[in-house]
Chain A
């Protein structure tokens, strides 16, 4: 085969060059190959040294990234000469089995760019504070001598107070000493507690799973002093409210390794390659197993590339597609043909067979309440038994008689329910439908529909019903068929003629007009989905995310999709069910983290606040609502929201004890106890009496009164004002009191609150102190009064978990915190010490009246039977703490001992134990082991004397691991033993064999460690299987934490009914033109300027994790180098915009300036401004206001959905980050126009 270089047919160039090259051979020491194309070298490799040097390093340290992405990826951090050089992924995750892909190498480009921050010019190296404030403080302190007196002096002077508030965000930060910074911070806290009460102090720090110690360190300080931690999951609108509604669970989802088990995979509003980058390979690889992959997305999203089919549903219309798919599945798999696997499943695990009372309305009927055992007792003129109001009823197929099956919530908190809280049906076969039963008749049923542009109307359908005592009843299943428009013989009402009937909800043809997805496609996908579930035993999965969750009506969209999964028996199966991925990070060692973060070892209960209501109230967004609360109500509503403003709804929810609200009352909770003790009455009675007499008011009923403002806010591990603050400009104006681009007008007089006080002047500048900690400059640090320099994720010890994989692993410092940076743990320890020192003089020991909402997974969830609205202030009901209103408790706060308490594990762990999801265990052994391992505090006279020390971050991490079932097999087994007593079925085998397993902090530093199956979660990992939620419920017959103990299609609460959402339903995006007088979609302004009104969406970015990395030079170099807006060529042409032109987006909430990216992957009529592009990088002044352009959330604002405020009713009860109004932001629209291409900064 060899041919010579001089061969005529092959060869190089010609003779002359050959000659020259041959000559060249004599000038090189190397040997030239025959073809003269290669130069061979022998011996040393002098020229290679450079790269060999560059590669060399001194050590590699395992750490991870504490960012809100759910990645929890283990990384190798390379260090040379004490300098962090770069990072690459660890690949040593324990194997998931021989026939599956592995988790290695988890990571993404953002994480790979992290080390850039370590030495970047935006690194916060020292403590900073606003110069004007520092001058005031120094002056006052020099004059008065005492830091607290100095701070109080400034706060008492409106002129000085406004002066530093108005300077917020406008530069002028100066470097100060740590001691001075901490003294100011401590003084501000002491002042606020002393003057207004501890519930005027708040902390914001999200997602503990991404760095548990850092979160717990700060939250512990806030909670121990009596401050409120504000929630994040609901505030981020990442909480799918459908999850508590349907499952009674905050969110529990499969690890990404379980996607591999699916055989039908729908990605619905979840752009997996971008938002679950390290997990995306499972989706790509599952296709090779023959898994069919569907993408539902309005644009040609990154994941569409992998999809067998793409359903480009119009933004916000996904619920219509879900309902139509449900229509097909109900018709083809429940009516035309019965699939035993499906009907058996829904009988046992869902509320479909449960009986519902029909209520007469206008000659027809509407769905009423679940029939309960108390109803049966009443029919028989019996006294109701224990918990009977909470026991739901089915009809037995065999006998036709009503039966009260085990497992409903009436068995959960009662003596008589012990051993009976389970899903074991024994011989009972619950009847699904009353159709064609001899004793049933068809009656007309009224149902609301919301899809018509003219407004909601009423559907007339029919259900089979029978008498049960006096009442007419039907089943949830029959209601579902009526709702979905699945006709059956002999029923009254108007029904669609078939799939092609576009006039009646919820047919495939009906949805086509709304979503643009072809009717035939929708029907076929639904059929395939169900067929696959039937053939595979429930292995159809829906990966769902922010694209469909973060809408005002995201919960209804979710319920329409969850219905598909429940009907086809996919929930609680490996490879099947829902896979909700947005912000859902799972803090696997939940109990240990919660105990420490909430300070439960020292005092209970903690103050936990629903974030959305907090910001809605305190940023005065409520003053700009354009509509009343009943604007969104069902045409069949009974008037619960009439004449109410949403602020009234928030206040009513608080009054009825449903949701928490802080500040609590219009008076200091410390003073309330003092008053009661002075008067010699019980403080709780004092409060009730004062409320009843009207001498005491709720703070949320007059939120603009100065005594009801939040006063001190600490933000860490977060960028509230550059990222999550829906209504950013409202925050700036009202909470902070600085300049804003806000353009909205306030609520007109006729739509103002009924109950909540409207003050003529909206306050500006509520906060005394905004404190933040970060390692980089963000919008939040720029707006803060004091900024503390934080250690990065490569400079501290901590723990990380996620629900995307089953491992727990560590942060480990590659270098010590450089310059004057400190870990969050050390920072809060320092603040606590300074605080305690000042508190000894100014506060001492006080008693704090803590008010808390009726809580899920506690007896509080069975406080208000029937799901009724009974407001003690308006209705005939007494304010009874813990029943018709908040629970009240008196907590002693030894303010001088806060630092010592923080640094030790308190005694309540031993005496009261730890409680998670109503499972209480006493980790006494663990407490003594921690004491032996980490030592005890030696502080004679202090309450902390002799308690196990938590004085380092490693000790705190060790305590988290020791106190949780997921990381301590003894506690997991113990927990299951406690739970099985209530359930009455064996459960401890799930953790059996793991009793001896203890995951220690060094274990997590050595390698990611798989966690242990624990009652803290709903899935089983026993035997090394992949985690899927609710497998314990399905396999062990352990109930869901809901009213019926089953998964719910039907929600019978008064407020659900008034909003028309008792059943899955389609609700379109909010009409911002109707609600806020915004221009209509597609409109120009008509002023001659070329502009266009478009839907404004803020999906997650490829180049950042929220605001993190959006300022990172590597990410900016790989993208467009600054803020952008994606738009379709058609929209761009209409407003004369070319790619990379500067554009300005304006609506009532604010102004955004950025550059256009024109791309045909975008649908017309919708623009994307990716989350979270803040104002720190390349944002010019706006044409509209002449001020700095806003962040992506400058165009959004909070819209509170009343049903999210329901409480005190089974699964619809408050728990922190479990239930609360979402900070949804996707229904917004904006005007976009090309602006002057000359920009100034």
Chain B
């Protein structure tokens, strides 16, 4: 899946349709397979990105081997009965409801009836102090946002810029990683990645509720159902995918920013790619194992492995492949976790030209809009910490492409002569820029999924 964050309006429709379809039941009240976070912000569960604290994902040993950050699998086996790296319900949020019945049943008194909040865990009245999305739209301000693990990583200069206010939204589902640390963490063998479509699932019959998957997942996208005592997670809506329907979150995305597509990858190259030494190389390494579906050799190998013809042509039409590899505008979320995540993101282009002009650029010249990418409102450094293990170059390249598309298309829009030097400046042709424009802007249903 690719999500174009540049188009995300932060509406949370995806979260609600997902929750209504999958997790509005006892034991999963606090569970949002799909959630949307305002960045900067703490995320859900709080500060989940701080792997020094939660120890999710993989780490690379000095010998170059991958080891679960939470401890080798042996250690996991031995610490199975006490798991300090497991987020508490407070780290998610204590789910609640209200005394709604009072509104109907209240006897005559001297005040208007009101529905008070009541914990869904204890049943007691409560003061609500955290929710599934507490710091939405920068709610809580600097005090809360100071605990954003990403913000902590970046330089003081960027933090100063933060004072000038920026925000964007980060919708998240399970990454359905190629190298899933949750699966590797499970002592019961209850988690598996489906070979045909790569969907990572929890076998509800086999799950013994050890919750090692919860702590093993650096994205905190496996949840514990406290009613059934089993782990649950985003299923990529496989009952829909199997009959040719997009996931609920994709189809209901009102920003029209989600793309679903098939990617052929070199399964044998996964471990090596996940083990490259410099985390900044993980993005390229993962790109490298994505196979070109138009390459006759790849097609031949796929046929040999029994991959059906319609799957091959689906891979050839895949918008995910186009965005990640052809146009190189989509980036993985936290490649440094070394799980090889498969939900990628187009970073948000967030201009606000005041700042661009302050850098000496003439904002009226559309050609200069992308000459000042480094002065956009959202600090590139922040985005790089999310998508490229801190390397600003790939993020910069993506934003330049988006800006180039806008400049180029403005000429088309106004009936002027086009300027081929604009796409050339970002390593694209007029044709490829136009094709990318159609995929990102026109984005018809059949082109998104």
Contacts and interface: CB of A to CB of B under 8 A. Distances in A.
Interface stretch (A142-150, A165-173, A501-509): A165-173
A1241 B132 contact: no
B255 A1157 contact: no
Interface string A100-123: 111011111101110110001110
A1122 B204 contact: no
B430 interface: no
A280 B165 contact: no
A170 B184 contact: no
Interface string A130-158: 01100000000000000000000000000
B352 to A, nearest CB: 5
Contacts of A9: 63-65, 275
Interface in B175-201: 179-180, 183-184, 189-193, 195, 201
A139 B416 CA distance: 82
B441 A277 contact: no
Contacts of B352: 304, 307-310
Interface stretch (B91-99, B308-316, B391-399): B91-99
B73 A131 contact: no
A290 interface: yes
A48 B201 contact: yes
B358 to A, nearest CB: 11
A62 interface: no
Contacts of A10: 64-66, 271-272, 275
B95 A11 contact: no
Interface in B53-93: 63-68, 72-74, 77, 93
B405 interface: yes
B199 to A, nearest CB: 10
B268 interface: yes
Contact of A290 (B65, B191, B413): B413
B201 A47 contact: yes
A1160 B413 contact: no
A70 to B, nearest CB: 14
Interface stretch (B9-17, B215-223, B380-388): B9-17
Interface string B112-132: 111111000000000011011
Given A113-B16, A1111-B115, A1118-B15, A1139 B143 contact: yes
B203 interface: yes
B17 A112 contact: yes
B6 interface: yes
A94 interface: no
B297 interface: no
Contacts of B254: 89, 105-108, 277-278, 280-281
A1176 interface: yes
Contact of B139 (A132, A172, A1120): A1120
B294 interface: no
Contacts of B201: 47-48
Interface stretch (A15-23, A431-439, A686-694, A1025-1033): A15-23
B268 A1 contact: yes
A1188 B20 contact: no
Interface stretch (A37-45, A440-448, A553-561): A37-45
Contacts of B256: 101, 104-105, 281, 285
Contact of B67 (A12, A21, A28, A112): A12
Interface residues of B, number: 128
A1183 to B, nearest CB: 15
A528 B195 CA distance: 55
A171 B411 CA distance: 64
Contacts of A1139: 139-141, 143-144
Interface in A520-544: 521, 524, 528, 535-536
A311 B326 CA distance: 37
Contact of B9 (A38, A56, A277, A1175): A277
A88 B110 CA distance: 42
A281 B64 contact: no
Contacts of B64: 8-11
Contact of B112 (A105, A132, A782): A782
A818 interface: no
Task: Name, among A3, A46, A48, A274, the residue most crowded by chain B CB atoms within 10 Å (CB to CB).
Answer: A48
B118 to A, nearest CB: 10
A1132 B111 CA distance: 30
Interface string B254-293: 1110000000001011111001000000000000000000
Interface in A755-794: 777, 779, 782
A304 B204 CA distance: 44
A470 interface: no
Given A40-B195, A88-B251, A1241 B114 contact: yes
A1161 interface: yes
B104 A1158 contact: no
B96 A12 contact: no
Contacts of B255: 280-281, 284
A1175 B102 CA distance: 13
A28 B93 CA distance: 36
B409 A782 contact: no
B272 A1 contact: yes
Nearest to A39: B192
Contacts of A309: 351-354, 363
B7 A263 contact: no
Contacts of B11: 108-109, 273-274, 277, 280, 1102
A284 B132 contact: no
Given A86-B20, A1179-B114, A285 B136 contact: no
Contacts of A173: 104, 106
Contacts of B402: 288
A1099 interface: no
B240 interface: yes
Given A10-B65, A171-B108, A1102-B137, A302 B10 contact: yes
Given A1160-B165, A1177-B115, A536 B138 contact: no
B425 interface: no
Interface string B308-329: 0000000000000000000000
Contacts of B133: 1117-1119
B142 A1129 contact: yes
B107 interface: yes
A132 B108 CA distance: 9
Contact of B103 (A122, A132, A1138): A122
B156 interface: no
Contact of B204 (A50, A305, A1114, A1126): A50
B167 interface: yes
Nearest to B163: A1160
Contacts of B129: 1140
A300 interface: yes
Given A284-B6, A1139-B144, A1121 B442 contact: no
Given A47-B206, A109-B15, A1161-B167, A89 B190 contact: no
Given A11-B271, A41-B192, A1158-B141, 6 more contacts: A14-B74, A54-B22, A88-B17, A173-B106, A1122-B128, A1158-B140
Instruction: Give me the 7 closest cross-chain CB pairs, A-B, nearest first.
Output: A290-B410, A172-B108, A47-B203, A171-B106, A273-B9, A1121-B128, A288-B441
28 contacts: A8-B63, A12-B65, A13-B72, A17-B77, A30-B192, A51-B239, A54-B21, A54-B22, A86-B17, A87-B20, A101-B256, A121-B100, A172-B109, A263-B414, A277-B13, A280-B11, A290-B407, A302-B9, A305-B168, A309-B353, A536-B413, A779-B112, A1129-B142, A1140-B140, A1159-B138, A1160-B163, A1178-B114, A1179-B114
Interface of A: 1-3, 5, 8-14, 16-17, 20-21, 24, 27-28, 30, 35, 37-41, 46-52, 54-56, 85-89, 91, 99-102, 104-109, 111-113, 115-116, 120-122, 124, 128, 131-132, 167, 169-173, 263, 273-274, 277-278, 280-281, 284-285, 287-292, 300, 302, 304-310, 521, 524, 528, 535-536, 739, 777, 779, 782, 1102, 1111, 1113-1114, 1116-1122, 1126, 1129, 1138-1140, 1157-1161, 1175-1181, 1187-1188, 1241
